[in-house]
Amino acid sequence: MRILLVHNRYRSAQPSGENAVVDEEAELLQASGHDVERVEVDSDSIAALPAARRAAVPLQAVWSRSGSKLVLDAIDRSQPDVVHFHNTFPLLSPAAIRAAKQTGTPVVLTLHNFRPLCASGTFLRHGKTCELCLHRRAPVAALRYGCYRDSRIASAPLVLMSAVHRALGTWTDHVDAVVFPSRFARDKYADAGWPQEKLFVKHNTVRPLTDVRHGSGTGFVAISRLSSEKGLDVLIDAWRRAFPNGEETLTIIGSGEDEAALRQRADGQQSINFRGAQPPLEARAQLASARALVIPSRCYEVFPRTIAEAFAAGVPVIASRLGALAELIDDGATGMLVEPESVEGFAAALRHLSESPELAVELGAAAKAAYDTRFSPEQTTSALTDIYTHVLETR
């Protein structure tokens, strides 16, 4: 099968799990014998644009002629059986989806966030879950609250993009299948009125890891962008309560705009180590030695790739009972779920697993089994190619 993958890569200053998912998906499709061509633009290139063109990028996010031409040229050149879009924001725009569909080629779209429904893409406003725009034709409330980057001006192009392309049916009428990494994400779009017959689930995955945990592991790990929606402030407060004398170690891997504030919050806690952004192999090695991965998010996660990495390494996950986390983690079997924002709840879960090496071994074994049966490349690549086959047969 000839597949054209289309993706607007996120800025390298903010490492994106979505970029990694797209890269892995392309490699797995090729390893399965498919012919994969990629069309990509890079948000890093925006900084090098002349001032006038840089100022036009917000409108380009709504409708990009250059993005449409890039995709049309690639379709003309490679004659794919399927065009598979991932992120189109901001340089490609949803107009590229319409252009691809007009060639008669089946179009598949994977949505890794909630941007068509919510300007911030997270259903989070001022640190709290917000679904104010879920059932509206456009996320106009973002203009009032400045939901994207805490700015009404920055939010305006996203509101316009959503309004224009929902009115034109770009994401529904010009796409043959919409793919989501979790049932939770799929159900949110179905709740918003998207046609359920076009909505499919294909989980994220990682290749089998060379580093797999043996025994109960030591210490805890958080691998995350250091930003408010990830809830690491809650984890630091819980850590102080759970281990006041530094009985365990917490390793925080990642970078982001909240790093300085989080370091200050953890000041005096010698058992909390900030490692910054790490190469994937080093981060995975650290993860594979841990008692658990901790994900204290306060926003709706769609499917953090770190869950697949933890399960592949035989490491359980302690996470917020929120969004797809509650779907992907079987509480008491492959990890532990805690009410979001609950400092005492996370402290109790951390203490319990620290004091129960036998439970850590049991949860880790179940996590590895879940990876093998649900989240392995064989399972997920098969699910994706089944979606491709479906759209080709129903074209």
The answer to whether position 214 is within a domain reads no
Domain membership flag for residue 211 = no
Does residue 243 share a domain with residue 314? yes
Domain extent, residue 344, equals 220-375
Residue 385 sits in the same domain as residue 339: no
The span from the CA of 166 to the CA of 154, in Å, is 19
Summary mean pLDDT of the chain: 95
Residue 213 included in any domain: no
Structure pTM?
0.94
**Together in a domain, 247 and 366:** yes
Could you give the percent of the chain with pLDDT greater than 70? 99
Separation CA 192–CA 198 (nearest Å): 14
Same domain, 186 and 229: no
Section 320-326 average pLDDT:
97
Is residue 176 domain-shared with residue 50, that is, in the same domain? yes
Query: What confidence category does residue 15 fall into, taking pLDDT thresholds of 50, 70 and 90?
Result: low
Please give the average per-residue pLDDT across 365-386, as a whole number. Answer: 98
Residue type, 68: S
CA distance 107 to 97: 8
pLDDT band at 219 (very low <50, low <70, confident <90, very high): very high
Res 81 pLDDT > 90? yes
Residue 374's pLDDT band (boundaries 50, 70, 90)?
very high
Residues 155, 250 share a domain: no
User: pLDDT category, 14, cuts 50, 70, 90?
Assistant: low
Give domain status of residue 296, yes or no. yes
44 with 131, same domain: the answer is: yes
Token reading at 202: 């294909």
Whether residue 152 lies inside any domain: the answer is yes
**Residue 272's pLDDT is what?**
97
Distances (CA, A) of 237 to 245, 302, 395: 14, 25, 53
Give the CATH number of the domain where residue 126 resides: 3.40.50.2000
136 in the same domain as 263: no
- 114/230 same-domain check: no
Find the helix packing angle between 377-393 and 17-31, rounded to 10°: 80
Q: Does residue 89 fall inside a structural domain?
A: yes
pLDDT (average), residues 167-177: 97
Structural domain tally of the chain?
A: 2
Tell me which of 16-20, 127-131, 270-274, 289-293 is least confident.
16-20
pLDDT at 53: 87
**Tens digits of residue pLDDT in 230-281:** 999 999 999 999 999 999 999 999 999 999 999 999 998 999 999 999 998 9
